[in-house]
Amino acid sequence: MALTDYREDMTACVRCSSCKWVPFNQMRSARFSHNCPSIDRYNFHCYSGSGRMNMGLSILEGRSSLNERVSEIIYACQLCGACDVACKTYREVIELTEVLLELRAGCVERGEMPLEHMAAVDALKRENNMLGEPKAERGAWAEELGLKDVNRERAEVILHAGCRYSYDRELWPALRGTVRLLREAGVDLGIAYSEEGCCGGRAYELGYRGEALNFAEDLASRVKASGASVLLTACSDGFAAFRWLYPRMGVRLSARPVHLVQYLDLLVRQGRIRPRKNLDLAATWHDPCHLGRMGEPWMPEWPGDKRERLRCWTRTGRRGVYEEPRRLLLAVPGLELREMERIREWSWCCGAGGGVIDAFPDFAAWTARERLEEAVSTGSDALVTACPWCERLFRDTAGEAGLPIRIYDLSEILLASCGEEVEGL
């Protein structure tokens, strides 16, 4: 696909600006009625989903050209998908996210990318991860856990930790604790240690499609060789890549992609994990974009042809993973779930996505702060989520701003309720 394949989508945009807002029937207050961090922060039409489509059409028709300034606007967007689902409330056939992705692929083709992304992708090619950390240390988080090595032995479930969890030491206790929970529940678990690579999802979002495909094919072949039937990931970005992007790129996984939240929910419902300790905690749940609307696959599978796509456009954000985390939280004794105003497919992004965390860190922090203020407005003690990118940005932003809210991974809540030591719980 190329930008030209989306000409009809771009011409169909009537500039109603509905993509800038949570749909009217979902709004609960003026304060939290915006849905697009980019237009909210920069306040000029080209920073909205519609504005970027208008720019795309203008480039396509030769009325303007792709240059450094245009590229900067294209990349000052989290690719959170909120504009897409809002537009589809009224205009089912417009595939807004696809246009945003095509614009980025065009930027890479013409060499007009932010320098930060060029550096990150160079590091990705060298070290197989988005953080540029040594690939030999990828499995260090699992030291002394005695997990199976799927490069040498078969396991029923292969755990893909993802780039952020693999190298962010502050997040390791949550992942290590979860592994203990899973094994106590009898799960046959293995990891690929230093052979695990990036899922490729972020590279695709940045417009580097060849690199994304290489990582996807590599991961798919490793999963196949492991004989696993479940590909489990704790990373929402990885989940979206496995569930949505791989079928879109024509990469078939031999194992079913499952997010940790879905798996833990299943184990709790089966009685194999029993939350029992009373936590006495008011908590709000942040829906990560890639676990929710962006993790939704095409229904049916993406066939790679626009004319086909018009008959199977059903990617609306409604079938994201929304119930499982809420059910898990409500299974914890003493936990009161206090919902924010923008939830499920109407959720506000954490700010980290689409490479914004690397190229526009101030914008990322501003976006996170917006979400944290919404969380604080619920009167909750804690914001809980299930994506290491969200957690890192929320922790840093809440700490710097001195906001009265703690940040937890959902697995930490479960661990605490199962009797493990978790700071602050």
Binding site for ligand SF4 (CB under 6 A): 13-19, 35-38, 48-50, 53, 77-83, 87, 91, 94, 96, 100
Question: In angstroms, what is the minimal distance from the CB of 23 to ligand SF4?
Answer: 10
Rg over CA atoms, the chain? 21
- 296: burial class by Cβ within 10 Å (0-12, 13-18, 19+)? buried
Number of other CB atoms surrounding residue 305 within 10 Å: 11
- Closer residue to ligand SF4 (CB): 335 or 364: 364
- 215: burial class by Cβ within 10 Å (0-12, 13-18, 19+)? buried
Question: In angstroms, what is the minimal distance from the CB of 405 to ligand SF4?
Answer: 23
Closest alpha carbon to 159 in 395, 411, 424? 411
Question: In angstroms, what is the minimal distance from the CB of 294 to ligand SF4?
Answer: 9
362, 298 Cβ separation under 8 angstroms = no
- Closer residue to ligand SF4 (CB): 38 or 262: 38
- The region, left, alpha or beta by phi > 0 then psi within -120 to 50, assigned to residue 355 is left
- Closer residue to ligand SF4 (CB): 103 or 405: 103
- Closer residue to ligand SF4 (CB): 18 or 166: 18
Measured in whole angstroms, how far is the alpha carbon of residue 91 from the centre of its chain? 24
Question: In angstroms, what is the minimal distance from the CB of 36 to ligand SF4?
Answer: 3
- Closer residue to ligand SF4 (CB): 275 or 320: 320
- Closer residue to ligand SF4 (CB): 91 or 277: 91
288, 343 Cβ separation under 8 angstroms = no
Q: How far apart are CA 296 and CA 95, in angstroms?
A: 14
90, 19 Cβ separation under 8 angstroms = no
- Closer residue to ligand SF4 (CB): 6 or 408: 6
Query: Per DSSP, what are the bridge partners of residue 230?
Result: 157, 256
Question: In angstroms, what is the minimal distance from the CB of 164 to ligand SF4?
Answer: 20
For 393, the enclosing helix (H) or strand (E) is helix 388-401
Question: In angstroms, what is the minimal distance from the CB of 107 to ligand SF4?
Answer: 14
- Closer residue to ligand SF4 (CB): 99 or 185: 99
C-alpha to C-alpha distances, 176 to 73, 269, 295, 332, 337, nearest whole angstrom: 39, 22, 25, 20, 25
- Closer residue to ligand SF4 (CB): 48 or 178: 48
| Residues 237, 239, 244: CA angle, nearest 5 degrees | 100
Question: In angstroms, what is the minimal distance from the CB of 33 to ligand SF4?
Answer: 13
Question: In angstroms, what is the minimal distance from the CB of 213 to ligand SF4?
Answer: 22
At 282, the amino acid letter reads A
C-alpha to C-alpha distances, 404 to 55, 302, 411, nearest whole angstrom: 41, 44, 21
- Please report the sign of the dihedral spanned by the C-alpha atoms of residue 348, residue 352, residue 357, residue 362: positive
Question: In angstroms, what is the minimal distance from the CB of 80 to ligand SF4?
Answer: 4
389, 372 Cβ separation under 8 angstroms = no
Residue with tokens 């700071």: 423
Query: Per DSSP, what are the bridge partners of residue 256?
Result: 230
- Closer residue to ligand SF4 (CB): 204 or 408: 204
Question: In angstroms, what is the minimal distance from the CB of 51 to ligand SF4?
Answer: 8
- Closer residue to ligand SF4 (CB): 100 or 410: 100
Question: In angstroms, what is the minimal distance from the CB of 263 to ligand SF4?
Answer: 28
